[in-house]
Amino acid sequence: MILYYQKLCLYYLSFLYYEELTVKTDAIPEILYAAHKYGIMKIVKKCKKILEETMCTENVCSIMESAHTFNDTELLRKCREYFYKEPIKCLQSDSFLDLCADCVDNVISSDDLPLEESLIFERVLEWADAECIRKNLELIDSSRRHVMGKILNHIRFPIMESQYFAERVACREILSKSERLAIFTFICSDQKSKTDFKSTRRKGRCVYARSCSAKPNPRMTHSNRYKVVMRFERNGHVTLKNENLWFVGQKADKIDFSCATTVYIHGIVMYGCGVEGADYNAHASILKTGLPFLSNELSHASATIPATFPYKTFNIYFPEPVHIAPNVKYTVAVTLQGPRSYWGEGGEQSITNDGVQFDFYKSTGETNGTDVDHGQIPGLIFSK
Ligand SMILES: [Zn+2]
């Protein structure tokens, strides 16, 4: 404490004389602590200003923790707003693992966190491991559940995809047997029963989502809200070519499609590639075919898929479902920046899924090589 006091005196003096605080950013929380303790509000204000100005995806969680310590609701709000603007990078940052349980809960309980539940769950599991280590607890599921406390109830298990829930959640002891059964019943039944877990979707644009595993069975990837039509399905599996990987870059992969009945397109499925250390940036558009691009774009979405993403395909969701009129041709175009990706082959021209007939066509104009038979954009996420 004496050290804090001495440091604070120095900063205070320099602040008085020079009206500026020239310190390293990582020393700010310490100074802020001392300035709060001794009620030197001028320095508190200055520290907060520096923290706000230097806020980035790597330090936002540390700043949040400082704001929590001093019960600074305004700074906390700014941290949360920042987090929700860059949710993937903030969630994946090292400092997320250092948050206290209250701060983790504060971030992940909000409807404003625009991420899929599976991603939130995976990261909270990593946080729970870090918390168990801090508390000298054995790294087993019962300890993880113990440290998660109320955080667990804010992970929206009922809206997870059934396949994901079965493969990654239900096989563990994080949830009790009765909780697992209640959630399975909720996911698989049209009659929505009550569970202890929230089942409303989060607001905002879903910029990133887990998709199917390496060999997804489209019947199993249906959530209670969406269905997925996969173009390169063979014997219940989606083909995944990993020789001569698909070149991605400047040109957009495109595929045209029409439906026999009205549907809503929520997003698309893309092939990724598990190259370590390489992120994907994706930009997807959906437009009516045959008219100038900009005037006819119905929706677009961007997504960043971090290198740590553990699956071979990923989803990109549009901000709102896109209305698709019957027997009208639409184009899906996606530009990917990143390493060469997997690709599919043996695509069908006509596929009926859940009573909806989809017809696919080669897109005209410049494309990256995707067509009905092979390439990227293996699936469309839709509802009737
Ligand atoms: Zn905290």
Same domain, 247 and 189: no
Percent of the chain with pLDDT over 90: 35
Q: What is the mean pLDDT of the chain?
A: 81
Spatial contact of 267 and 322, defined as CB atoms under 8 Å apart: no
Same domain, 189 and 295: no
Residue 95, token pair as written in the block = 């400092």
Q: What is the DSSP secondary structure assignment for residue 284, as one 8-state letter?
A: E
Same domain, 180 and 270: no
Task: Please say if the pLDDT value at position 307 is more than 80.
Answer: no
Q: How remote is the CA of residue 27 from the centroid of ligand 1, in Å?
A: 18
Name the most confidently modeled range: 237-241, 290-294, 327-331.
327-331
Is 24 part of a structural domain of the chain?
Answer: no
Same domain, 173 and 236: no
Same domain, 358 and 235: yes
Is 283 part of a structural domain of the chain?
Answer: yes
For range 170-199, the mean pLDDT: 85
Q: How remote is the CA of residue 147 from the centroid of ligand 1, in Å?
A: 14
Q: How remote is the CA of residue 119 from the centroid of ligand 1, in Å?
A: 21
Is 84 part of a structural domain of the chain?
Answer: yes
Q: How remote is the CA of residue 175 from the centroid of ligand 1, in Å?
A: 25
Q: What are phi and psi of 86, to 5 degrees?
A: -125, 60
Q: Give residue 277's pLDDT band: very low, low, confident or very high (50, 70, 90).
A: low
Task: Please say if the pLDDT value at position 361 is more than 50.
Answer: yes
Domain boundary among 204, 237, 257: 204
pLDDT tens for 89-126 read 899 889 999 999 999 999 999 988 888 888 899 899 99
Q: How remote is the CA of residue 31 from the centroid of ligand 1, in Å?
A: 18
CATH number of the domain bearing residue 377? 2.60.120.820
Residue 265, token pair as written in the block = 């397109």
pTM: 0.56
Q: How remote is the CA of residue 26 from the centroid of ligand 1, in Å?
A: 17
248 or 192, which is more confident: 248
- Cα(283)–Cα(365) distance, rounded to whole angstroms? 18
Q: How remote is the CA of residue 23 from the centroid of ligand 1, in Å?
A: 24
How many domains in the chain? 2
Same domain, 156 and 276: no
Task: Please say if the pLDDT value at position 381 is more than 70.
Answer: yes
Q: How remote is the CA of residue 177 from the centroid of ligand 1, in Å?
A: 31
pLDDT tens for 201-247 read 777 544 443 332 223 333 333 344 678 898 987 765 667 777 777 88
In sequence order, what DSSP letters do the residues of 49-93 get, joined into one string?
HHHHHT--TTTHHHHHHHHHHTT-HHHHHHHHHHHHHSHHHHHHS
Q: Give residue 160's pLDDT band: very low, low, confident or very high (50, 70, 90).
A: confident
Task: Please say if the pLDDT value at position 9 is more than 60.
Answer: yes
Same domain, 186 and 235: no
Q: How remote is the CA of residue 209 from the centroid of ligand 1, in Å?
A: 27
pLDDT tens for 125-145 read 999 999 999 999 999 999 999
Q: How remote is the CA of residue 198 from the centroid of ligand 1, in Å?
A: 23
Is 137 part of a structural domain of the chain?
Answer: yes
Q: What is the CA radius of gyration of the chain?
A: 24
Is 212 part of a structural domain of the chain?
Answer: no
How confident is the model at residue 236, as a pLDDT? 58
Same domain, 199 and 231: no
Q: How remote is the CA of residue 262 from the centroid of ligand 1, in Å?
A: 48
How confident is the model at residue 339, as a pLDDT? 85
Percent of the chain with pLDDT over 70: 81
**Which region among 96-100, 161-165, 180-184, 265-269 has the lowest average model confidence (pLDDT)?**
161-165
Same domain, 195 and 238: no
Task: Please say if the pLDDT value at position 177 is more than 60.
Answer: yes
Q: How remote is the CA of residue 69 from the centroid of ligand 1, in Å?
A: 7
Q: How remote is the CA of residue 70 from the centroid of ligand 1, in Å?
A: 10
Q: How remote is the CA of residue 48 from the centroid of ligand 1, in Å?
A: 17
Q: 312 lies in which domain range?
A: 227-383
CA distances from 96 to 105, 248, 272 (A): 12, 32, 25
Q: How remote is the CA of residue 206 from the centroid of ligand 1, in Å?
A: 26
Q: How remote is the CA of residue 180 from the centroid of ligand 1, in Å?
A: 29
Spatial contact of 33 and 69, defined as CB atoms under 8 Å apart: yes
How confident is the model at residue 204, as a pLDDT? 52
Is 26 part of a structural domain of the chain?
Answer: no
Same domain, 231 and 195: no
275 or 171, which is more confident: 171
- Residues around ion ligand 1, judged by CB within 5 A, are 65, 68, 100, 102-103
Residue 110, token pair as written in the block = 């909000």
Q: How remote is the CA of residue 98 from the centroid of ligand 1, in Å?
A: 9
Is 214 part of a structural domain of the chain?
Answer: no
Task: Please say if the pLDDT value at position 14 is more than 70.
Answer: no
Q: How remote is the CA of residue 351 from the centroid of ligand 1, in Å?
A: 51
How confident is the model at residue 208, as a pLDDT? 40
For range 294-300, the mean pLDDT: 75
Domain boundary among 204, 237, 266: 204
Q: How remote is the CA of residue 99 from the centroid of ligand 1, in Å?
A: 6
Same domain, 319 and 287: yes
Task: Please say if the pLDDT value at position 183 is more than 50.
Answer: yes
Q: What is the DSSP secondary structure assignment for residue 343, as one 8-state letter?
A: E
Q: How remote is the CA of residue 63 from the centroid of ligand 1, in Å?
A: 10
Same domain, 87 and 145: yes
Angle between helices 117-134 and 101-108 (to 10 degrees): 180
Is 191 part of a structural domain of the chain?
Answer: yes
